[in-house]
């Protein structure tokens, strides 16, 4: 972020009396200087508070990255990153992108989360600075204002994976998709119809963002392509010659990825086709005919009330900050300080109350752009909309669409998941303040809105800390330290989760289980246990249970595994589990759980594991057939009849 010397526009003192203009008196000048100094002081105070909240919020999220773990989704991310080359089919390739980072950090889960958060925050911060310069110009905001305001907005993305009530900060296809969109947005802001150094970098970044989006979710990449085309066309930036840079970059990186992952383009295409086919067999809702949807909107009466109240309060602070009456300016400053103090009180653990707005609470981030739009409209009215350029309208619509681009193709509710990319809705609202950018008090308006974004982000993140995804208690109550995965990867867990992990790890060691040994998970929901004991999840990263085609999925998965791996594979089963896989799936390679395996021990799941309150019994089984006999039975079962 450049901090070149800049100057605000010079505003001359204007005065009026009932009968025309007159020369300013000493009193006029004194009063005007007092007002200017008061405004500048208020602005400096808000600036300092915003910077402090940014630092404390970031430190808070990084600190809690050492706490908790989910046995299902988050464990799936870890398994995928740790050994991505073990699997021949996959619909998402995020494991290959993050695998070097996993190795660099030696599998330290807390460090992986912290690095993921910092990557997202830094991208958002840099892009926020570029956004402010592009939309409002160098003369509207000093460097210090841009740095602090962009940092405030960036906190929304740094906490994106815990926003909406989740606590899933481990790198995943979700984080990669968001990072891809941020890179693409940086390119859109820099791109231009005419070739220049900055423009060429921008076109390159658009292509790089498209490639990363493809590696995260091909559906997101496809939607991003359409969204990018719309923006470039309507913003008047489209250049076929320069667009070729983006296309060549995206295609080039995809081709290089194909060779690095599978050794050929054909094999890579087969990987993608195989991944899509596995999802079709599973019946998980990822089918193409279900992509184009909006999903149920259920913010609820309480959530709607909170949204209206937050919007009104945020609007008041922003509007008062540019008022001419000293009392209103002080009122706006005090409201902004209240936002900061509220954020800090939550971050410092002075309160543990949550909003209780339910599953859709991430949509409360809308209060910030709603307040922004109201602020702009109240100042420039309808005529201001006519002053917004076509390029800025295109940018606004693009930002509004990007959360949908982010979620396109997921089987989750689009409104819930879209909130994870809520930073783009914030940017969309800010664009509409362009007509008042020349206002002397414009920095104060943006600072107030930045503090509003921080407060609503902190409130929602706090909900994730208090009710983490598929975990039994607030993260702050965790006190059981345990190494999970590689040496030195210590997390702070609840006692129940810690003991569950510890029992499974101890049982595996006592039973002679060796790290890297293949294991088949018939619980349908325990990739985290396999990761903790060092087992090799074979066929697929996670044998999903609980879907209409789970058993068929398991059979198809096992058919992709060599007979030698299957002959030496152990089993993890949950006889009464709600998402268990039928033992009959083992017949696909000529095995019978009752006669070919031996129970070496049992242990109980923790309450809350997998999202289920009650504890269940799990069993660890080892193969007892001679490997040669098991391989022969497997080969015989695979011969065409």
State the pLDDT confidence band at 298, using cuts at 50, 70 and 90.
confident
At residue 417, the pLDDT reads: 84
* Average pLDDT over every residue of 576-580: 94
Task: Name which residue leads in pLDDT, 24 or 160.
Answer: 160
Report, as an integer, the average pLDDT of 410-436.
90
On whether the CB atoms of residues 451 and 340 are closer than 8 A, the answer is: yes
Q: What is the DSSP letter of 24?
A: P
C-alpha 151/C-alpha 161 separation (Å) is 18
Instruction: List, for residues 609-625, the tens digit of each pLDDT value.
Output: 888 888 999 999 999 99
pLDDT at 6 over 60: no
Which whole-number Å values give the CA distances from 343 to 446, 451, 452, 526, in the listed order? 17, 9, 9, 36
pLDDT(553) > 80 = yes
The per-residue pLDDT for 37 is 55
pLDDT at 167 over 90: no
Task: Band the pLDDT of 295: cuts 50, 70, 90.
Answer: low
Give 288's pLDDT tier (boundaries 50, 70, 90).
low
Q: 275 vs 18, 254, 609, CA distance in Å?
A: 77, 17, 27
Percent of the chain having pLDDT more than 70? 90
Using the predicted structure, report yes or no on whether residue 15 has a pLDDT greater than 70.
no
The model's pLDDT over 32-85, given as tens digits with 9 standing for 90+, comes to 444 555 567 778 889 999 999 999 999 999 999 999 999 999 999 999 999 999
- Contact yes or no for 526/501 (Cβ under 8 A): no
- Predicted pLDDT at 381: 83
Q: In angstroms, how far is CA 361 from the centroid of its own chain? A: 15
Distance between CA atoms of 596 and 294, rounded to whole angstroms? 48
Burial class (CB in 10 A: 0-12, 13-18, 19+), 27: exposed
**Contact criterion met (CB below 8 Å) for 585 and 540:** no
Q: Is pLDDT at 95 greater than 70 in this prediction?
A: yes
54, 152 Cβ separation under 8 angstroms: yes
pLDDT confidence bin for 186, thresholds 50/70/90: very high
Pairing mode of beta strands 570-573, 536-537: unpaired
Euclidean distance between CA atoms 622 and 597, whole angstroms: 5
Q: Which two tokens stand for residue 166?
A: 């989740």
pLDDT average, residue stretch 185-205: 96
What is the chain's mean pLDDT, rounded? 89
**Statement: residue 294 has pLDDT above 80:** no
Residue 581 has pLDDT above 60, yes or no: yes
Cα–Cα dist 578/566, whole Å: 25
Least confident of 70-79, 350-359, 448-457, 598-607: 350-359
Tens digit of each residue's pLDDT (9 = 90 or more) over 326-336: 889 889 999 99
What is the reported pTM? 0.91
**210-245 confidence digits (pLDDT tens):** 999 999 999 999 999 999 999 999 999 999 999 999
Structure tokens at 476: 């702050």
What does the pLDDT read at residue 161? 58
Mean predicted confidence (pLDDT) in 102-130: 95
What is d(CA 540, CA 556) in angstroms, rounded to the nearest whole number?
A: 10
Specify whether the CB–CB gap between 242 and 195 falls below 8 A: yes
């Amino acid at each position: 972020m450049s901090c070149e010397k800049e100057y605000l526009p010079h505003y001359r003192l204007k005065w009026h009396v009932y009968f025309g203009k007159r020369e300013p008196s000493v009193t006029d000048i004194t009063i005007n200087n007092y007002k200017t100094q008061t405004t500048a002081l208020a602005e400096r105070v808000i600036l300092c508070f915003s910077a402090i909240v940014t630092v404390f919020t970031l430190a808070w999220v990084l600190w809690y990255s050492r706490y908790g773990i989910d046995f299902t989704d988050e464990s799936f991310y870890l398994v995928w990153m740790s050994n991505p080359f073990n699997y021949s089919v996959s619909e998402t390739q995020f494991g290959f992108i993050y695998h070097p980072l996993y190795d660099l950090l030696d599998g330290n889960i807390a460090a992986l989360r912290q690095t993921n958060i910092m990557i997202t925050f830094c991208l958002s911060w840099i892009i926020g600075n570029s956004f402010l310069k592009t939309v409002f110009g160098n003369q509207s905001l000093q460097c210090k204002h841009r740095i602090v305001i962009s940092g405030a907005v960036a906190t929304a993305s740094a906490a994106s994976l815990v926003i909406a009530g989740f606590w899933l900060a481990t790198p995943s296809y979700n984080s990669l998709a968001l990072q891809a969109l941020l890179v693409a947005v940086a390119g859109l802001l820099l791109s231009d119809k005419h070739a220049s150094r900055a423009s060429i970098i921008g076109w390159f970044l658009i292509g790089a963002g498209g490639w990363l989006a493809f590696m995260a979710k091909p559906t997101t990449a496809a939607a991003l392509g359409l969204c990018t085309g719309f923006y470039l066309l309507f913003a008047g930036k489209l250049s076929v010659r320069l667009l070729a840079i983006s296309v060549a970059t995206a295609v080039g990186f995809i081709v290089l990825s194909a060779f690095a992952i599978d050794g050929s383009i054909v094999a890579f295409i087969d990987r993608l086709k195989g991944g899509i086919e596995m999802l079709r067999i599973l019946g998980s809702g990822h089918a193409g005919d279900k992509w184009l949807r909006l999903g149920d909107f259920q913010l609820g009466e309480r959530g709607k009330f909170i949204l209206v109240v937050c919007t009104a309060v945020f609007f008041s602070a922003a509007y008062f900050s540019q008022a001419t009456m000293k009392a209103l300016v002080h009122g706006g400053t005090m409201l902004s300080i209240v936002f900061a103090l509220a954020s800090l009180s939550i971050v410092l653990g002075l309160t543990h109350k949550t909003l209780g707005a339910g599953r859709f609470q991430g949509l409360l981030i809308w209060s910030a752009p709603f307040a922004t739009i109201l602020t702009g409209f109240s100042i420039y009215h309808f005529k201001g909309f006519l002053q917004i350029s076509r390029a800025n309208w295109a940018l606004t619509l693009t930002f509004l669409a990007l959360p949908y681009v982010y979620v396109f193709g997921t089987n989750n509710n689009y409104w819930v998941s879209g909130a994870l990319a809520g930073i783009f809705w914030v940017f969309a609202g800010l664009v509409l303040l362009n007509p008042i950018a020349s206002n002397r008090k414009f920095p104060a308006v943006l600072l107030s809105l930045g503090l509003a974004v921080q407060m609503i982000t902190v409130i929602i993140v706090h909900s994730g800390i208090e009710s983490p995804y598929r975990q039994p208690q607030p993260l702050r109550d965790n006190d059981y330290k345990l190494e999970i995965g590689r040496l030195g990867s210590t997390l702070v867990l609840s006692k129940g989760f810690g003991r569950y992990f510890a029992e499974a790890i101890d049982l595996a060691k006592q039973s002679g289980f060796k790290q890297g040994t293949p294991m088949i998970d018939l619980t349908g929901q325990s990739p985290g246990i396999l990761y903790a004991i060092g087992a090799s999840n074979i066929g697929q990263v996670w044998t999903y249970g609980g879907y209409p085609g789970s058993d068929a999925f398991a059979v198809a998965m096992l058919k992709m595994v060599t007979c030698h791996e299957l002959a030496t594979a152990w089993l993890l089963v949950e006889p009464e589990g709600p998402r268990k896989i039928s033992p009959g799936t083992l017949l696909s390679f000529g095995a019978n759980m009752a006669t070919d395996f031996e129970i070496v021990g049992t242990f109980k799941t923790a309450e809350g594991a997998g999202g289920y309150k009650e504890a269940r019994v799990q069993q660890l089984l080892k193969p007892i057939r001679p490997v040669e006999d098991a391989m022969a039975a497997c080969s015989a079962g695979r011969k065409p009849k």
